[in-house]
A and B are shown apart, each in its own frame.
Chain A
Amino acid sequence: MNPVDVPFYRRVEEALGKTRMRQAVRHTSGRAMESRRAAIAELDSSDAVRDQARAIRARTLSALDQHLDTFVTNVEKNGGTVFFAETGDDAVDYIRTLARERGVKTIVKGKSMVSEEIELNPVLEADGMEVVETDLGEFIVQLDNDKPSHIVAPILHKTKEDCARVFKEKLGATDEEVAGVPQMTQLARRVLRKAFLKADMGISGVNFGVAETGSICICTNEGNGRLSTSMPRIHVAMMGMERLVPTAADLGVMLEVLGRSGTGQRLTVYSNILSGPRRPGEPDGPEEFHVVIVDNGRSEVLAGELAEILYCIRCGACLYACPVYQTIGGHAYGSVYSGPVGSVLSPALAGIHAFHELPHASTLCGACKEVCPVRIDIPRMLLRLRAKGVEAGESPQWVSLGIKVLGWIGTRPRLFGLAGRVAARVAGMAATDGWIRELPAHLAGWTATRDFPAPAKESFQERWAKRQGRSSTDRSRS
């Protein structure tokens, strides 16, 4: 997984300049959070349910080897084929070989974050195949040569006028056809229906694999998830290896929280459980059913202290809740996985150097942890990644110097007091009415938008000691 080529701070600058995009993100995040809140509140004892969901994820991952093995056995029993792809390239190779061997010309795709992570589409297109994204948001992204900005709502950053423009430019749509959201939806339906009917292969993601039944569950609202996995002769499901639960009962618990947390719905319109190819006697369904289990760095994460990030069920709630995400939008993260989960997952999968700024693009406010349906402690992991960044030499020199100084004087109270008095003297020269309008060098960012308080001439401890008639660092009890 590679970060986008533009450096982080430039991406942020670009993002902050896009007022319309930011308004779109703020507006939609707000609506999503509202509907989400109401839906979660409906859960009888929602805290207990989230604990239960968390426990299911923890149990599954801590014995993932066993559960995946059971999963494979049962998928094969159902007549399906499974392939374990250790790297993204392995997964891409499997699929392109399969497509070539079966004479596939047109592929319809449901939403799959994993397929974007491994950059599958460009390879298949280079092989001469037509690849059509069928999720409405992803379809528009594909037409516009854009990238999705939210893991559940890919065009969170686009207004409806943006979408109309895309349809007119890329599909030659008339003004009537893009007059409003219903019209644009119908246009997409007409165009994509042709693709569903002629496609040779359907590629989908997986919300949850179920080990005991050898099934995969795909949750969609539009119906593209059903059509792309029922109409074509071949169905390939791409599953991040951690997206598994042991039993159908466990799946039921996860489904109760997924819709509510992600989209404010009790259930998405289609909770689609697929257990292998068409069976003898069935009138329709794909002839072939393949599950590609993708590792691509997940086993490294699984082995360490960041394994908890793999509990994620990709509901997208943390993105909606994050005030930083709401300010800069998804593209600024430069990764397939953005927002709070992405700030942990991206460096975890691709290494700290590739995404070393992301763990710092947070105030650690904890809103993400508060909304997470499986209670993932994202702030804890952001702090771990920051420490890893320091160890890897990614911390700027001025920060290192500042912290070293703090560590030194902080364990030497007399020096601490002295440093404070010196700073107060120096700052006092730059201050008016106790506030400083311009800080130097690396601190100048503060005073771009705020005044900075000047340190007091006499600290609280110094005043206290004076009152007691002794030195402030005298080690006797005050």
Chain B
Amino acid sequence: MRPARVQLLVTCLVDRFFPGTGESVVSVLERAGVAVTLPVGQTCCGQPAFNAGYDADSRALARHTIDVLSASDDPIVVPSGSCGDMVIHQYVAMLGDDPEYGPKARAIAARTYELTTFLTRVLGVTDVGATATGTLSYHACCHGLRGLGIDSEPKALLAGVRGATTCPLPEAEVCCGFGGLFAVKMADISGEMLQRKLDAIEACGADVVAVTDVSCGMHMAGGLRRRGSRVRVVHIADVLAGAAGPNAEPK
């Protein structure tokens, strides 16, 4: 069951803030022998509205995204644990009882995969021809870890990067403090949680810490920049595409 072609749900943050990461995703998938299409009209999966408690708005965004993804039957790959969790679990939770969108949501959920899950579990590959120098580590973004059970997959892919060594990140499973709007509404608490995470990152001995989500990633990267740190937090697609060796820019 090796699909020849997938649809990319690029996610609003990658689309607008980190388009280079989107290009890395395409590059990695193509290298793995899968063609990538981009369904037209993507905007936002609706998670910010959902997390803020705006059910009507999040349902509207969910329906829109479902429509966009339903134009094709191809499997869907999403380079984000949190958007992945949204599409795979929360769309069904929100719209499950809807006579029109319930079945569509379930159909979409059944063929949506977060990127690292797609590579390791669907394609069965851990070596995507990636090379890097220096030491890599991994922070487990919470929605991916606990919502989708993602942990061994990114680690396996990082272990497959030729030329680089890996090291563990202490407290890798402790939340970085991003939490979406939480980062702004509860900025004091978020900032403190961030310091704890950055202390661990700077002490772990890695040059680059890979993540599955640019949302958490930009919070940590922004903090490291503020500290003037040498260590960088980079989306795993960029690591695998060779777009972010220790000396490359984060975007």
Contact = CB atoms under 8 A, between A and B. Distances in A.
Query: A contacts B directly in the complex (CB < 8 Å)?
Result: yes
Contacts of A303: none
Contacts of B60: 407, 410-411
B159 interface: no
A399 B181 CA distance: 9
A453 interface: yes
Interface in B1-36: 10, 14-20, 22-23
A288 interface: no
B193 interface: yes
A406 B49 contact: yes
B61 interface: yes
A388 B55 CA distance: 10
Contacts of B223: 449-451
A305 to B, nearest CB: 12
A443 B181 CA distance: 10
A94 interface: no
A79 to B, nearest CB: 49
A456 B184 contact: no
A8 to B, nearest CB: 9
B38 interface: yes
Contact of A476 (B40, B182, B222): B40
Contacts of B98: none
A98 interface: no
A476 B249 CA distance: 34
B184 A460 contact: no
Contacts of A474: 40
A363 B42 contact: no
B142 A365 contact: yes
B75 interface: no
Interface string A158-190: 000000000000000000000000000000000
A366 B147 contact: yes
B44 A361 contact: no
Given A459-B15, A461-B15, A403 B48 contact: yes
Interface stretch (A128-136, A275-283, A323-331): A323-331
Interface string A449-474: 11111111011110110000000111
A122 interface: no
A385 B52 CA distance: 10
B188 A406 contact: no
Nearest to A457: B19
Contacts of A366: 142-143, 145-147
Contacts of B146: 365-367, 369-370
B164 interface: no
B61 A367 contact: no
Residue of B37, B54, B142, B181 with most partner-chain A CB within 10 A = B54
A411 B43 contact: yes
B235 to A, nearest CB: 12
A363 B146 CA distance: 13
Contacts of B180: 363
Contacts of B72: 477
Contacts of B18: 453, 456
Contacts of A456: 16-20, 251
Contacts of B183: 445-446
A142 interface: no
Nearest to B64: A411
Interface in B157-174: 173-174
A460 B145 CA distance: 26
Interface residues of B, number: 71
Contacts of A399: 52, 181, 185
A403 B15 contact: no
B71 A360 contact: no
A149 to B, nearest CB: 16
Contacts of B44: 406, 410, 416
B145 to A, nearest CB: 8
Contact of B55 (A327, A387, A400, A410): A387
B92 to A, nearest CB: 13
Contacts of B221: 453
B175 A363 contact: yes
A327 B175 CA distance: 11
A459 B189 contact: no
A81 interface: no
Contacts of A454: 17
A387 B251 CA distance: 35
Contact of A461 (B10, B179, B188): B10
Contact of A416 (B43, B190, B192, B222): B43
Contacts of B226: 449-451
B192 A390 contact: no
Contact of B53 (A361, A370, A383): A383
B95 interface: no
A200 to B, nearest CB: 46
A291 B71 CA distance: 62
B61 A365 contact: no
Residue of B71, B177, B188, B251 with most partner-chain A CB within 10 A = B188
Residue of A360, A407, A452 with most partner-chain B CB within 10 A = A407
B193 A327 contact: yes
B55 A477 contact: no
Given A407-B61, A453-B17, A473 B192 contact: no
A453 B175 contact: no
B13 to A, nearest CB: 9
B225 A451 contact: yes
Contact of B186 (A12, A323, A370): A12
Nearest to B56: A407
B10 A460 contact: yes
Contacts of B41: 413, 473, 475
B52 A403 contact: yes
B102 interface: no
A243 B155 CA distance: 42
Interface of B: 10, 14-20, 22-23, 37-44, 46, 48-57, 60-61, 64, 71-72, 142-143, 145-147, 173-175, 177-196, 218-219, 221-223, 225-226, 249, 251
Closest 3 CB pairs of A and B: A445-B187, A363-B179, A386-B53
23 contacts: A16-B189, A361-B189, A362-B179, A365-B179, A367-B142, A367-B174, A369-B146, A395-B53, A399-B181, A403-B48, A403-B54, A406-B44, A407-B54, A407-B57, A416-B44, A424-B16, A445-B185, A450-B222, A456-B19, A456-B20, A459-B15, A460-B23, A478-B38
Given A367-B142, A475-B40, 5 more contacts: A360-B182, A399-B52, A407-B54, A454-B17, A456-B17
